[in-house]
Amino acid sequence: MQIGIPAEIIAGETRVAATPDTVKKYITAGYRVVVQAGAGVNASVPDASFSAVGASIVHDAAAAYASDIILKVQAPTAEEIALIKDGATVVAMFDPYRNPNLAAFAAKNLQCFALELLPRTLSRAQNMDVLSSQSNLAGYKSVLLAANEYQRPFPMFMTSAGTVKPARIVIMGVGVAGLQAIATAKRLGAVVEATDLRPTAKDQVESLGGKWLDVPMSDEEKENAKKAAASGYAWMPGPQYVQDQAVIVDKAVSQADIVITTALIPGRNAPRLIKAETVAKMKAGSVILDMAVETGGNVEGSVVNEIITTANGVKIMGIPNIPAKLAAQSSALYANNVFNFISTLFNKEGGLAFNPADDIQKALLITSAGELLFNKK
C-alpha cells in the first residue's frame, strides 16, 4: 500500500504533512511512500532528506495523488480532489464546518479523516492533537510578530537617559495559544493580563505570572462554570457576567500596549471581542494581533493578511495561519500527530482497517463508502 505526500498549494501554506522521521516509520511499518518534489522545501526539508530514508520523489501532483493514502496539511482543493483515485484514504485538517467540498469527497468514495475533530478529552488522543501542537507554536509566534510591529521594548530598562517602562500586554482567550502567548510575553519581560470566559483558567494564567482580569460571578454562575469545566464542555455565561466582563476588558484593552486575541468557536464565526470604540481609546503605537481573522475576526476592523493603522495610530494585524510561519517545527509536530493517528488504522497485512468501535477514528471520519457522515449543525 502506498502513502502519498503532495505539496501544499494553498497560498501561505508552508508546512508539509510528513518528515523524514515519520516517513521512515511508515516504511518500517511496510508502506511505500512517495513525496512530491519540493513538498518539504518551505519547511526546510529538501527532497534528498526524504530520499535518504527510502521515499520515492515524484515530480507532479498526479503521481502523489495516485496513492492509497494521502497525507496533507490543508484539505485537498476541488482541483486536487479530481486527482485522487476513488476509494483512497485522506488525512488532513479539513476545516469541515466551512469546507464547501465535503460532498465531492464523498462522491469519489474517499475515506476522509478530519484531524481537528479529535475528541480532546481522551487522554490517549493527546499525541494526535494537531490543534494543540499548532496552537502552541501560534501563541509563541504571535507575540514575536506583535513585538516586531511595536516600536518599544518589552522589558523595563534602567538607563542614564531615563527608565523605560515594561510593555503592557493583554491576552484574550486562554486556550493553548493564549497560554503560550502569556508565557512568551512574560519571558520577554512584559507585564501580562489575561481574560477568558472560563473562570477556571485563572489558576493557569497566574501560574505563568500573568494577572487575571477578574469578573464578579454569582454563586450560580460559579457552579455552572465548575460543572462545565469538569465535563469538558463550554460554559455559557449569563448576560450580567458578559456585561461586567465587557467593562473590565474595555478598560484593560484601552490601556494596553499590545493585545492578542485567540478566541475561536468550532463551527461558528469567531466572537467579536474588541469593538471599534475600544480601539479608538487606545494610544498611538499600540498593536492588536487578531489570531482569529480567518474566521471573521475577534477585532472589529481586522483584515486577513493586512496590517491596518487606525486614525488614532493603532495597528491591527490580521495574520492568518501563524503556524506556517514556523514551518520547520510546526511540520515536525504535525507529522508526528498524523503518524500517531494513522498508525491506529494499520493492520498486519500492510493495509488500513477502520474500527467503528474506536472513539477517535469514529470522531474523525467525515466521509466513507460514498456517504457524507459529518453534520455541520
Active-site residue flag, 132: yes
From 132, 286, 302, 330, active-site residue: 132
Query: In sequence order, which residues have a C-beta less than 8 Å from that of residue 312 and are 6 or more positions away?
Result: 279, 280, 282, 283, 284
Name the amino acid, one letter, at 342.
I
Q: Are 73 and 8 in contact (CB under 8 A)?
A: yes
Query: In sequence order, which residues have a C-beta less than 8 Å from that of residue 262 and are 6 or more positions away?
Result: 135, 139, 142, 171, 172, 173, 174, 175, 177, 178, 181, 291, 292, 298
From 56, 95, 126, 231, active-site residue: 126
* Cα 354 to Cα 206: distance, rounded to the nearest angstrom: 43
From 56, 233, 240, 359, active-site residue: 233
From 44, 68, 97, 120, active-site residue: 120
Q: Are 142 and 168 in contact (CB under 8 A)?
A: no
Residue 342 is placed in which grid cell? 494513522
Active-site residue flag, 120: yes
Residue 115 to residues 28, 111, 167, 284, 323: CA-CA distances in angstroms?
23, 13, 37, 41, 16
* Nearest 10 degrees: Cα torsion 363, 369, 372, 374: 0
Q: How would you label 42-54 residue by residue, b for 16+ Cβ within 10 Å and e otherwise?
A: bbebebebbeebe
Residue 66 to residues 43, 61, 70, 84, 109: CA-CA distances in angstroms?
24, 9, 9, 6, 14
Active-site residue flag, 219: no
Active-site residue flag, 168: no
From 31, 36, 129, 150, active-site residue: 129
Q: End-to-end alpha-carbon separation of the chain, Å?
A: 35
Q: How would you label 80-110 residue by residue, b for 16+ Cβ within 10 Å and e otherwise?
A: bbebbeeebbbbbbbebbebeebebbbebbb
Active-site residue flag, 187: no
Active site residues: 120, 126, 129, 132, 233
